[in-house]
Structures are given as C-alpha cells and as structure tokens.
Amino acid sequence: MDIEDMVQAALDLIRHGRYVVALTGAGVSTRSGIPDFRSPTSGLWERANPAEVASLYGFRHHPERFYDWIRPLAHLIFDAQPNPAHLALAQMETLGHLSSIITQNIDMLHSRAGSHIVYEVHGHLREVTCIQCFSTYPAEPLIQEFFRTNTLPRCPKCGNVLKPNVILFGEQLPAVPLMAARREAHRCDVMLVAGSSLEVYPAADLPLIARQSGASLILVNLAETPLDSLAQVVIHADVVDVLPRLAAALESD
C-alpha cells in the first residue's frame, strides 16, 4: 500500500476503535527542537558519558556534572512549543477518538498542547525532588535560578540537592504511570505508536502487551521498528505530517 492507503487504513481502525491509546516517543518532539536525550546520536553524549552524568549513581556522587549536561536540554524544553503532532493528538482526544497518551518524553508538551490524560513513563521536568527528604517542588523556577547563578538547586528544608523528576539510567520507572500505562495497553483495542523506535524498555513492551490482548497496532515512525511485522498499519513518515492528517479527517467525519 502507498501512504494514502495506509493513512486510510489507520483512519478505519481509529474510527472503529472503542478504546484507542497512543504511545509516543522522541520523534513527536524533535520538530519542537528537542532531541532524543537518550540517543547516542543526538549530540548530547558528545561531551559526556551517560553512565557518569545521567545515571542515578552519577547524580548522587556528582550532581554538578548532571546539571552541566542537562542545562542546554532544559533550556530547549522550557522554551519549546507543542508542534502539529502534539496538537493533533489533543484534537483526537477532544473528538473522542483517543482515550489516553502514554509518552516516553519528559518535555510535558502533550499537556501543554491540551491533552488531558497523559502517562509520562520516563518522568518529566515539571517537578524536582530532594534526594534526601523527598520533598517535591516546581522545577522551572529552581532550574531557571540555576541558569542564572550556576548554583545547584537545593532543598529549602534540608539543603540537599534537588533532582529533576526524570528517569536516569539505572533508575526504575515511576510505578504509578507505568502501571497505568500497562493497564491502558491491556485495555485498548487500537494502539497508535508515534515517533518511537521501540528500542527502550520497558516502554517498548507496551505495544506487545496491546497486541497480545487483541489490539490492532498502527506504527508511525520515520525509521523501521522491531515491531513493524506485528502491526496492522505501518507508516514510515514524519508524525508531524501524518498525525494532523488523521485528526483533520476525523474532525470532518
């Protein structure tokens, strides 16, 4: 099938789906200027070893290295705006064709685009948590202060370093959103995977859970994924081009 036929096939599945769930990866946010910070080809590892700067062990021993590394990424995230892919998913939710979003992204752009049910399985930059007393605070003002002063964010209560609520290497995924994501994967009858290479686990298991529970899979990604052969519809194209087409067609129904 050509891309037009595949888009129509995706629309047919979404239109007839009783419970459609989206799983999104870094490809949804790259057009907003945010690179895949876990990818060794993104440029974010050129000056740093991830085991040293972006692991839980590394953060506990050298938090200043982590903050020096994340500074440009945090700037990008706080300045980024939702792109047409984020807006299309929010529109699909408003139209009643999308029940929830599971995202591997930490940039909060789905919520800023207007999506209401979003499970952030790799964490987010919305909050920071004290590594000693576990007090939680809004992240942006504290990280912006770090930008201005180059002083590590510290807990007002106990003085220990504050860690952004993003999942580092060697750290378990947050239990609540991960359990919710697995529940959604079992529950859905259509899973739309957008902009994910499906190479980072355990999030990459979610389409398998959905498929084993009888759901149809729609994969939209520029490159091939390990699950292409299991999907009912595979569209190798930019999500920024495909998702707005889906949303527009659903709105015109």
User: Active-site positions?
Assistant: 122
Amino acid at residue number 160: N
Question: Any bridge partners for residue 123, and if so which?
Answer: 166
Amino acid at residue number 190: V
Q: In what order do the strands lie in the sheet with 216-220?
A: 118-120, 100-103, 20-24, 190-194, 216-220, 233-235
Any alpha helices (H) in the chain, and if so which ranges? 3-16, 50-53, 56-61, 63-79, 84-94, 109-113, 139-149, 175-187, 206-212, 239-252
Residue 96, judged by CB atoms within 10 A of its CB (0-12, 13-18, 19+), counts as exposed
Task: Give the separation between CA 134 and CA 190, rounded to whole angstroms.
Answer: 38
Task: Give the separation between CA 57 and CA 67, rounded to whole angstroms.
Answer: 14
What torsion, rounded to 10 degrees, do the Cα atoms 192, 197, 202, 203 define? Answer: -30
Q: Are strands 100-103 and 118-120 parallel, antiparallel or unpaired?
A: parallel
DSSP secondary structure code for residue 44 in this structure: T
